Amino acid sequence: MNQASNGVAETSGPELQMHETHKLRQKIDRRTARIGVVGLGYVGLPLAVEFADTGFHTTGIDLSTERVQQLNGGINYNEDLSDQQVQHVVEKGLLQAVDDYSISRELDVFFVCVPTPVTAHKDPDTSYIEAATQSIAEHLRPGQLIILKSTTYPGTTEEVVRPILEEAAQEEGLTLGRDFFLAFSPERIDPGNQQFTTANTPVVVGGMTPACTELATLAMGQVVADVHTVSSPKVAEMEKLLENIFRSVNIALVNELAQLCDRIGDVSMWEVVEAAATKPFGFMPFYPGPGLGGHCIPIDPHYLSWVARKYNFETSFITLAARVNEAMPFYVVDAVVRAISHQPVRLSDAKVLVLGVAFKKNVDDTRHSPAHTVVKLLRDQGVETIRYSDPHVSSFQAESPHEDAIPVERVEVTEEVLAEHDVAVVLTDHDAFPYQRIAKHAPAIVDARNALEHIPHNRDKIYLLGGGDF
């Protein structure tokens, strides 16, 4: 065995195989492996902090200079992490952030956590994955493990990531599964969830080869208590989509039945779900709402539909669920317009207060939130004055394809503000909202989340989605 000028051991054949797998295994076991987290967003930052907290020297790579500067200054921008958690690992030198890949040859294990959006035609946009992989490939060296975490369609790791890495590997004479390693391990983080965090949420791992699976399992096992291995990245990619499609389909089901309850009258879907949830097996409660949001549930199913089309296969559940869920903001806006019609005010003079623009409770994420569509539809209906309040979101503009964004003024939920608006519409049931005050002072309330369930209120001024009289 020779020592190359860059310090990397040069070996060949089975000796190298033993060498690289064994060496990386030892580094991970001894916590001397250097971790790289690519993409420091909702997924990447908590993962990076978790590894750093466990004692691994961790480097976050993000193209956003602003995020990198914030982190290196010990500034936390993730609501699920405490400022102390971030400061602690940064001050101890266990977490640093960089905005280019020049350091990547020094890193042993990469977690790729970049966005996976859809195009205007709802086809997968894997360009972020490709760009990140290309950057890693440019510095590829023996002994590196790359774990893709971004949600994507089955086949991405094998058909998109692998060829990029192998092209670079070929130049270096490296073989996948022997000299470097590749796996997929989907992310399950649920922002805002205090009960299930990175450490206590099981993860799934599927590697390109047995050695890839073994090393990726070992790496994930450093920060997660329970790692479930599957036979390939494709299975892991597919299971993640199943998780998200399961949610989308079940939410669509209750959304449809909520509308039926409103049609029947005097049957509240909320009471129905609560009753069904007493069954201790075979039922899991899902709740109606104003529509889906976030970077996952409204987007990911389209990744599978796209693959299905390549196989001349129609994913009808995905299509149907999307149709029902995407119609929910329209249903909510109809109720707002009806509520306004019961007030002594013309639609164009009406003032609407949107309570909650984040896509779900207790988070600051407004990506694809139903609030975008609700504001746009209200404006289309002629409502000029639309304001919002959200304790987690400091600024908001309603975005829609092919149209200019609509800036929305932020206000606090004071008695005066509530009284001044003709209708308050609860789109997000943040814990921090003053529901007593809202129930007392808003002239009319459209409640798309059953947020006022436990607040004494005048039923006549509440329009509860799925409540049987919406």
Ligand X SMILES: NC(=O)c1ccc[n+]([C@@H]2O[C@H](COP(=O)([O-])OP(=O)(O)OC[C@H]3O[C@@H](n4cnc5c(N)ncnc54)[C@H](O)[C@@H]3O)[C@@H](O)[C@H]2O)c1
Distance in Å, CB of 298 to ligand X, minimum: 11
Q: Which stretches of the chain bind ligand X, using CB under 6 A?
A: 38-44, 61-64, 67, 113-116, 128, 131-132, 150-151, 187, 189, 191, 295-296
380 contact partners, CB below 8 Å, separation of at least 6 = none
- Given the complex with ligand X, which of 38 and 354 has the nearer CB atom? 38
CB nearer to ligand X: pick between 51 and 463 = 51
d(CA 213, CA 72): 32
Note the Cα 418 to chain centre separation in Å. 32
C-alpha distances in Å from residue 423, one per residue of 336, 338, 349, 386, 443:
7, 10, 12, 10, 6
Compute the C-alpha angle 19/22/28, nearest 5°.
Answer: 135
In single-letter form, the type of residue at position 460 comes to: D
Are residues 186 and 149 in contact, defined by beta-carbon separation less than 8 angstroms? Answer: yes
Written as six digits, the tokens of 67 are: 């995020």
In angstroms, the CA 449 to CA 365 distance is 17
Minimum separation from the CB atom of position 279 to ligand X (A): 29
Q: Coil, strand, or helix at residue 182?
A: strand
- CB of 336 within 8 A of CB of 377? no
Within 13 Å of residue 203, how many CA atoms lie on the same side as its CB? 30
* Residues in contact with 440: Cβ distance below 8 Å, sequence separation at least 6, in sequence order: 415, 457
We find the least distance from the C-beta atom of residue 367 to ligand X, in angstroms, to be 8
In DSSP terms, 334 is beta-bridged to none
The least CB distance from residue 195 to ligand X, in Å, is 15
**Nearer of residues 114 and 205 to ligand X, judged by Cβ:** 114
Region for residue 253 given its phi and psi (left: phi exceeds 0; alpha: psi -120 to 50; beta: otherwise): alpha
Task: Tell which residue, 238, 240, 375, 245, has the closest CA to residue 298.
Answer: 245
Residue nearest to ligand X (CB): 41
Look up tokens 């796209």; give the residue.
306
Catalytic residues: 296
DSSP 105: G
Nearest approach, Cβ of residue 448 and ligand X (Å): 21
d(CA 108, CA 28): 9
Q: Nearest approach, Cβ of 108 to ligand X (angstroms)?
A: 18
Kindly provide the b/e burial profile for residues 377-398, where b requires at least 16 CB atoms within 10 angstroms of the residue's own CB: bbbebebeebbbbbbbbeebeb
Closest contact distance (angstroms) between CB of 413 and ligand X is 26
Nearest Cα residue to 408 out of 352, 369, 343:
352
The half-sphere exposure of 169 on its side-chain side, counting CA atoms within 13 A, is 21
- Looking at the Cβ atoms of 64 and 250, the one nearer to ligand X is 64
CB of 43 to ligand X, least distance (A): 3
